Amino acid sequence: MLTPVRALAAACLILLAALGHLSATPAPPDTAVLEFLGFRAGARLDELALHLGRSGGGKLRCRRSKLDPRVSECRGALREQQLGGAIDVWISAIDSIAGVITVSGVVAPGQIERWSESLQVQYGRVDTNSQGAQRMRQ
């Protein structure tokens, strides 16, 4: 049986071996990637900034983490006619690649249900999580 320290060491060795096979060449785009409101999973920050700028939402403002300079927290706004107003966008990125993209705002009645149905048709059904009065699907 492995002790916790030996298990951690083994996991680190496996991770290092896997990282050794990575290259700086970007992988070809995945055509089945998750996409919503023009944002796609794994997008580069410059691509997302361009998307926000084209929507009239202004600039994407990013701050680097003081603990890990590879990590950035970015904020911006998306303005689309179908939304009826600005939607706040928060992006957590590692090495300028979006890891988590959150959109938040007030939308027209029925819009959430239409988005939900569209996403479920494309990606499958997920349960709703509740936290106080807030509901979310992840």
Which run of H or E residues covers position 83?
none
What contacts 129, CB < 8 A, 6 or more positions away? 135, 136, 137, 138
My answer on whether 47 and 88 are in the same domain is: yes
86-95 pLDDT tens trace: 889 999 999 9
My answer on whether 71 and 116 are in the same domain is: no
Domain count, the chain: 2
My answer on whether 79 and 127 are in the same domain is: no
Q: Residue 16 in contact with residue 45, Cβ under 8 Å?
A: no
* Strands (DSSP E) found in 39-118: 39-40, 61-64, 71-80, 85-94, 97-104
Extract the residue ranges of the chain whose pLDDT is less than 70: 1-32, 81-84
Does the residue 12 lie in any domain? no
Given this model, what pLDDT does residue 13 score?
Answer: 44
- Domain range enclosing 134: 108-138
- Number of Cβ atoms within 10 Å of the Cβ of 23: 6
My answer on whether 43 and 82 are in the same domain is: yes
My answer on whether 59 and 79 are in the same domain is: yes
My answer on whether 89 and 133 are in the same domain is: no
My answer on whether 99 and 112 are in the same domain is: no
Does the residue 18 lie in any domain? no
My answer on whether 35 and 96 are in the same domain is: yes
83-122 pLDDT tens trace: 667 889 999 999 999 988 888 888 777 888 888 888 888 8
My answer on whether 114 and 66 are in the same domain is: no
Does the residue 138 lie in any domain? yes
My answer on whether 129 and 116 are in the same domain is: yes
